[in-house]
């Protein structure tokens, strides 16, 4: 009984904190339509500020609790909320759901970066509970701390207060009105902007309260741990369908209590070692389940409005040409890069391969997946287990497993490409035999018992793709009904689940494949001791182990190959169907499309690409750890940067991967070098270095609001003028300049930084000069079209333009006017 009371009280207290946090989330969501992913990070940040004011020795510190509370809750938090709304969130109207999700993620990463920047150093920061650790009272033998008591009281007061605010005050009614119909509020003289400001301020205050209340329960302040704790509240918000406050509060309490009871039941994770991490991942499991049970918005007409995002589809020919150019550029660069930069560039390219999975899934098909790196991680683990393994008779077990996976893959993917009936069976048999041959013939480990290899075979990469693809299907299958934000949250839950349950798994998985071998056919120590040593690839007789250059070229070829496939795919019937599904699910359904099958296939394919890329990335790194590089945070950053790069394009994935892995390191290094060279400005350059390393990615993400189509499309627009004949001279001279500088670097006349400082301005100035060049040449065509033939003669080009403008058949006017003899 005593235990029951104790665990119930603990559960209610944490549940109450979740309830407070999620209520803040609901308030901002209902008034702005934006799911504030950064909510958890705001709570974390304000908890750090509070700690600074109360307990730090060097600065601030020793403020009395009431004053510190008032300062944080009534000054800092509302300011954060208001600034966020004014500077960032307000600009998100009319953007796609992907963009609406990415910007708050960027803000979250910005808060994490800023906190890491401000509160550097490994010192322990321990916040104390209210009235100290020993202030408690008791029911029977069970003690209840004053801190817990306060939490529950605060939650109740806030619940009543919010209810009063929303239903009994003018401001609250205005907020609710904005939810119902923003335009109508405006027409009636209301001010939706002011209501939005108020709701963001309230949301931030709620996050701050939750952060301050929960931080003493953690022991020491930890940036990610604290953020993640408040993230647990997301499940509660979904419980209330992001609308209903009482249900949200109930959801919070249910989550808190179930986690607490699970701890009680499992002896804080001691009883069942396999599930030991479930105590930290239970909230996201609940989140996933609640999402599945949630009644979904039905398909309905009228949801489609043109969003600001816009992606063109390149042709296969162009993709092949550009891939060739790309590989040449990489090869050229490799001549002037030191080993360190070669390794960094490889890291960027392998990340770009993983990012390609998001181009397919999110860019083409419009399905949001926040767990790209979870799939990559699973792929890397699968490749490791296959190649290095650790168990008994791994070979036979894996061969059977591989064939089963190949069959499953065939059933999931092939039908969506129109392969059905007898053809389907033939293709699946061919595909699985191919995999079997790969496993048996080309891999010497098979059947040899304990395998331990220096290098990774081609087969391991195929296995990585298959395992990851199958996992993708498993995740997607229950989540097929979900769309947009809800799908994003479901995959987010999955990513956290993988972080906790797979990467932190220390148990050995033993599997008996029926009818084959004796006893345990597969024995896998999933993530032994928190680090896996992944071998480098070894095939075609090339030394990838000691040769970073080979690794770099391999990555660029893999990236190009998959990119070309994706471009071809997009132009195929399959790709058009994905686009159709993204643009209008309702129309697809009424045209007879079975969207579930299509979604399942694209999820499987995308996860397979991610798994393949993950194996490649890990193999380049040689080691992966439980907290690097495939965690949820890295995954969110990669997702964000790929969207920034332009998620509708394969080049967007390239930009995303490179920026993620290289750009900010390069900039950080640049300032670091300056700090070394000019000692007197050291402090300034160090600040700049930290700034780029810690905040750069997040700020790039926030900047997306201005151009939701991403960097790639800006790039295409900017350099479009260089494709014209008139600018050929500019193009050639510019490129020759870059090649010349490159040549100087190859023969070591200049150093790397000089190369960068000369080459990049040339590349950046080329489109500017091109534009100026065009402008000076093309004054005439700027005259209004109506004056054509009056003020100036009609040229063939102009005729064509007129044809296009009035939308008649190609060359109609062109051919017609020739017979009148007016053509010049």
189: left (phi over 0), alpha (psi -120 to 50) or beta: left
222 membership: H or E segment, kind and range: none
Among 5, 587, 663, 802, binds other proteins (CB under 8 A): 587
Residue showing tokens 């999931």: 412
Between 321 and 808, whose beta carbon lies closer to other proteins? 808
Rounded to whole angstroms, the maximal C-alpha distance in the chain is 106
Going by C-beta distance under 8 Å and a sequence separation of 6 or more, which residues neighbour residue 811? 800, 803
Beta strand ranges found along 376-458 (DSSP E):
455-456
For the bound state, the minimum distance from the C-beta of residue 808 to other proteins, rounded and expressed in Å, comes to 5
Indicate whether 588 belongs to the interface with other proteins (CB under 8 A).
yes
The piece of 476-484, 512-520, 556-564, 589-597 that touches other proteins (CB under 8 A) is 589-597
- In angstroms, the CA 395 to CA 246 distance is 55
Question: If DSSP codes are grouped into helix, strand and coil, which group holds residue 220?
Answer: coil
Among 170, 300, 725, 824, binds other proteins (CB under 8 A): 300
Between 266 and 579, whose beta carbon lies closer to other proteins? 579
For the bound state, the minimum distance from the C-beta of residue 176 to other proteins, rounded and expressed in Å, comes to 16
- In angstroms, the CA 31 to CA 192 distance is 9
Question: If DSSP codes are grouped into helix, strand and coil, which group holds residue 66?
Answer: helix
Question: How many residues at the interface with other proteins, by CB under 8 A?
Answer: 33
- In angstroms, the CA 538 to CA 670 distance is 35
- In angstroms, the CA 379 to CA 617 distance is 10
For the bound state, the minimum distance from the C-beta of residue 244 to other proteins, rounded and expressed in Å, comes to 15
308 membership: H or E segment, kind and range: none
Among 541, 592, 784, 821, binds other proteins (CB under 8 A): 592
Between 277 and 309, whose beta carbon lies closer to other proteins? 309
- In angstroms, the CA 638 to CA 632 distance is 10
Binding-residue pattern over the window 804 to 823 for other proteins, x denoting contact by CB under 8 A: ---xxx--------------
- In angstroms, the CA 231 to CA 312 distance is 36
Indicate whether 184 belongs to the interface with other proteins (CB under 8 A).
no
524 membership: H or E segment, kind and range: strand 522-525
DSSP H helix total and E strand total for the chain:
34, 8
For the bound state, the minimum distance from the C-beta of residue 598 to other proteins, rounded and expressed in Å, comes to 9
For the bound state, the minimum distance from the C-beta of residue 584 to other proteins, rounded and expressed in Å, comes to 4
**Rg, Å, the chain Cα set:** 29
For the bound state, the minimum distance from the C-beta of residue 295 to other proteins, rounded and expressed in Å, comes to 12
- In angstroms, the CA 547 to CA 15 distance is 53
Nearest to 599 by CA among 470, 473, 414: 473
Among 74, 135, 139, 591, binds other proteins (CB under 8 A): 591
Indicate whether 421 belongs to the interface with other proteins (CB under 8 A).
yes
Indicate whether 594 belongs to the interface with other proteins (CB under 8 A).
yes
Between 682 and 816, whose beta carbon lies closer to other proteins? 816
Among 311, 486, 603, 660, binds other proteins (CB under 8 A): 311
For the bound state, the minimum distance from the C-beta of residue 591 to other proteins, rounded and expressed in Å, comes to 5
The piece of 58-66, 293-301, 428-436, 600-608 that touches other proteins (CB under 8 A) is 293-301
Among 304, 757, 764, 772, binds other proteins (CB under 8 A): 304
- Give the pair of three-digit tokens for residue 262: 């699970």
Among 301, 519, 679, 784, binds other proteins (CB under 8 A): 301
Indicate whether 576 belongs to the interface with other proteins (CB under 8 A).
yes
For the bound state, the minimum distance from the C-beta of residue 658 to other proteins, rounded and expressed in Å, comes to 26
Among 5, 292, 450, 586, binds other proteins (CB under 8 A): 586
Nearest to 670 by CA among 755, 748, 737: 755
Between 209 and 365, whose beta carbon lies closer to other proteins? 365
For the bound state, the minimum distance from the C-beta of residue 568 to other proteins, rounded and expressed in Å, comes to 16
Indicate whether 542 belongs to the interface with other proteins (CB under 8 A).
no
Answer for the pair 231, 215: CB distance below 8 angstroms, yes or no: no
Range 4-23, binding other proteins (CB under 8 A): none
Residue showing tokens 């939750």: 210
- Give the pair of three-digit tokens for residue 621: 């790194």
Between 87 and 420, whose beta carbon lies closer to other proteins? 420
- In angstroms, the CA 652 to CA 566 distance is 13
**How many CA within 13 A on the CB side of residue 720?**
6
For the bound state, the minimum distance from the C-beta of residue 302 to other proteins, rounded and expressed in Å, comes to 4
DSSP 143: E
For the bound state, the minimum distance from the C-beta of residue 583 to other proteins, rounded and expressed in Å, comes to 4
Between 176 and 453, whose beta carbon lies closer to other proteins? 176
Distance of CA 187 to the CA centre of its chain: 38
For the bound state, the minimum distance from the C-beta of residue 610 to other proteins, rounded and expressed in Å, comes to 24
Between 13 and 581, whose beta carbon lies closer to other proteins? 581
Between 421 and 541, whose beta carbon lies closer to other proteins? 421
Between 43 and 366, whose beta carbon lies closer to other proteins? 366
Indicate whether 590 belongs to the interface with other proteins (CB under 8 A).
yes
Beta strand ranges found along 60-162 (DSSP E):
136-139, 142-145
Between 452 and 573, whose beta carbon lies closer to other proteins? 573
The piece of 274-282, 341-349, 630-638, 801-809 that touches other proteins (CB under 8 A) is 801-809
The piece of 113-121, 560-568, 591-599, 695-703 that touches other proteins (CB under 8 A) is 591-599
The piece of 63-71, 438-446, 593-601, 628-636 that touches other proteins (CB under 8 A) is 593-601
The piece of 168-176, 386-394, 575-583, 731-739 that touches other proteins (CB under 8 A) is 575-583
For the bound state, the minimum distance from the C-beta of residue 480 to other proteins, rounded and expressed in Å, comes to 12
For the bound state, the minimum distance from the C-beta of residue 593 to other proteins, rounded and expressed in Å, comes to 5
* DSSP-assigned states of every residue in 542-573: ---SS-HHHHHHHHHHHHHHHHHHHHHHHHSH
Q: Strands 508-511, 536-537: parallel, antiparallel or unpaired by DSSP? A: unpaired
The piece of 154-162, 191-199, 248-256, 584-592 that touches other proteins (CB under 8 A) is 584-592
Among 118, 420, 429, 733, binds other proteins (CB under 8 A): 420
Question: If DSSP codes are grouped into helix, strand and coil, which group holds residue 791?
Answer: coil
Q: Helix 711-720 crosses helix 752-777 at what angle (to 10 degrees)? A: 60
Between 509 and 586, whose beta carbon lies closer to other proteins? 586
**Rounded alpha-carbon distances, angstroms, from residue 676 to 663, 669, 673, 683, 689:** 20, 10, 5, 10, 12
- In angstroms, the CA 317 to CA 571 distance is 11
780 CB-contact burial (10 Å; exposed 0-12 / middle 13-18 / buried 19+): exposed
Per residue, the 3-state secondary structure of 101-116, as one string, reads HHHHHHHHHHHHHHHH
For the bound state, the minimum distance from the C-beta of residue 778 to other proteins, rounded and expressed in Å, comes to 23
Between 243 and 728, whose beta carbon lies closer to other proteins? 243
Between 677 and 717, whose beta carbon lies closer to other proteins? 717
* DSSP-assigned states of every residue in 477-505: HHHTT--HHHHHHHHHHHHHHIIIIITT-
Range 111-130, binding other proteins (CB under 8 A): none
Among 584, 707, 795, 800, binds other proteins (CB under 8 A): 584
Among 225, 333, 436, 595, binds other proteins (CB under 8 A): 595
Nearest to 710 by CA among 102, 112, 104: 102
Question: If DSSP codes are grouped into helix, strand and coil, which group holds residue 518?
Answer: coil
Question: If DSSP codes are grouped into helix, strand and coil, which group holds residue 344?
Answer: helix
Between 247 and 758, whose beta carbon lies closer to other proteins? 247
Binding site for other proteins (CB under 8 A): 298-302, 304, 306, 310-311, 418, 420-421, 573, 576-577, 579-580, 582-584, 586-595, 807-809
């Amino acid at each position: 009984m005593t235990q029951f009371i104790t665990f119930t009280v603990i559960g209610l207290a944490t549940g109450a904190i979740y309830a407070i946090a999620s209520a803040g989330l609901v308030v901002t969501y209902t008034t702005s339509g934006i799911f504030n992913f950064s909510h958890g990070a705001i709570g974390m940040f304000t908890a750090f500020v509070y700690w600074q004011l109360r307990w730090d020795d060097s600065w601030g510190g020793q403020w009395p609790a009431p004053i510190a509370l008032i300062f944080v809750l009534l000054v800092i938090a509302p300011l954060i909320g208001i600034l966020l709304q004014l500077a960032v969130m307000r600009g998100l109207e009319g953007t796609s759901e992907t963009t609406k999700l990415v910007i708050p993620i960027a803000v979250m990463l910005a808060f994490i970066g800023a906190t890491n920047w401000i509160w550097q150093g490994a010192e322990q920061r321990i916040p104390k509970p209210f009235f100290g650790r020993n202030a408690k009272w008791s029911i029977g033998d069970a003690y209840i701390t004053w801190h817990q008591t306060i939490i529950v009281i605060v939650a109740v007061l806030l619940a009543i207060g919010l209810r009063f605010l929303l239903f009994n005050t003018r401001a609250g009614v205005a907020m609710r009105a904005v939810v119902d119909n923003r335009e109508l509020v405006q027409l009636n003289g209301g001010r939706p902007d002011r209501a939005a400001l108020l709701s963001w301020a309230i949301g931030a205050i709620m996050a701050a309260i939750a952060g301050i209340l929960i931080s003493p329960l953690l022991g020491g302040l930890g940036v990610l741990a604290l953020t993640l704790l408040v993230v647990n509240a997301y499940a509660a918000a979904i419980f209330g369908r992001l609308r209903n406050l009482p249900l949200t509060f109930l959801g919070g309490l249910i989550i808190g209590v179930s986690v607490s009871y699970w701890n009680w039941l499992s002896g804080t994770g001691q009883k069942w070692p396999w599930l030991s991490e479930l105590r930290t991942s239970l909230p996201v499991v609940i989140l996933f389940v609640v999402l599945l049970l949630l009644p979904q918005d039905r398909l309905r007409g009228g949801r489609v409005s043109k969003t600001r995002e816009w992606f063109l589809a390149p042709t296969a020919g162009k993709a092949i040409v550009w891939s060739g150019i790309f590989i040449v550029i990489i090869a050229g660069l490799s001549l002037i890069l030191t080993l360190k930069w070669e390794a960094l560039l490889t890291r960027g390219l392998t990340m770009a391969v993983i990012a390609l999975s998001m181009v397919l899934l999110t860019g083409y098909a419009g399905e949001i997946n926040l767990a790209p790196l979870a799939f990559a991680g699973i792929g890397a683990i699968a490749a490791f287990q296959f190649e290095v393994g650790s168990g008994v008779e791994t070979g036979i077990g894996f061969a059977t497993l591989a064939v089963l996976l190949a069959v499953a893959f065939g059933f999931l993917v092939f039908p969506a490409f129109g392969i059905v009936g007898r053809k389907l069976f033939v293709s699946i048999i061919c595909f699985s035999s191919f995999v079997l041959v790969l496993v048996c013939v080309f891999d010497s480990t098979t059947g040899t018992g304990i395998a331990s290899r220096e290098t990774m075979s081609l087969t391991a990469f195929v296995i990585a793709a298959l395992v990851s693809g199958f996992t993708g299907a498993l995740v997607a299958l229950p989540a097929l009904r979900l769309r947009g934000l809800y799908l994003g949250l479901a995959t987010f839950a999955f990513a956290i689940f993988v972080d906790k349950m797979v990467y932190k798994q220390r148990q050995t998985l033993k599997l008996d494949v029926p009818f084959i071998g004796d006893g345990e056919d597969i024995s896998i120590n999933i993530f032994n001791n928190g680090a896996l040593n992944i071998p480098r690839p070894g095939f075609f007789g090339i030394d990838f182990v000691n040769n970073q250059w080979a690794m770099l070229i391999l990555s660029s070829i893999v990236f190009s190959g998959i990119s070309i496939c994706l471009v071809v795919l997009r132009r195929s019937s399959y790709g058009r169907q994905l686009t159709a599904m993204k643009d209008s699910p309702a129309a697809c359904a009424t045209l007879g499309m079975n969207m579930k099958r299509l979604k399942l296939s694209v999820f499987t394919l995308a996860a397979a690409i991610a798994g393949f890329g993950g194996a490649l990335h890990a193999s380049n790194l040689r080691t992966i750890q439980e907290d690097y590089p495939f965690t949820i945070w890295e995954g969110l950053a990669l997702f964000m940067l790929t969207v920034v790069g332009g998620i509708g394009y394969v080049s967007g994935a390239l930009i995303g991967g490179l920026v993620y892995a290289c750009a900010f390191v390069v900039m950080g290094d640049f300032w670091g070098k300056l700090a070394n060279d000019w000692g007197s400005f050291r402090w300034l350059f160090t600040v700049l270095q930290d700034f780029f390393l810690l905040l750069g990615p997040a700020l790039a993400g926030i900047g997306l609001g201005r151009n939701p189509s991403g960097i790639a499309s800006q790039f295409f627009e900017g350099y479009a003028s260089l494709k014209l004949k008139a600018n050929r001279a500019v193009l050639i001279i510019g490129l020759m300049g870059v090649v010349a500088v490159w040549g100087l670097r190859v023969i070591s006349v200049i150093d790397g930084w000089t190369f960068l400082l000369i080459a990049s301005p040339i590349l950046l100035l080329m489109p500017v000069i091109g534009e100026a060049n065009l402008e000076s040449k093309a004054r005439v065509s700027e005259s209004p079209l109506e004056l054509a033939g009056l003020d100036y003669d009609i040229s063939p080009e102009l005729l064509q333009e007129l044809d296009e403008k009035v939308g008649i058949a190609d060359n109609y006017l062109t051919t017609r006017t020739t017979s009148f003899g007016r053509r010049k």
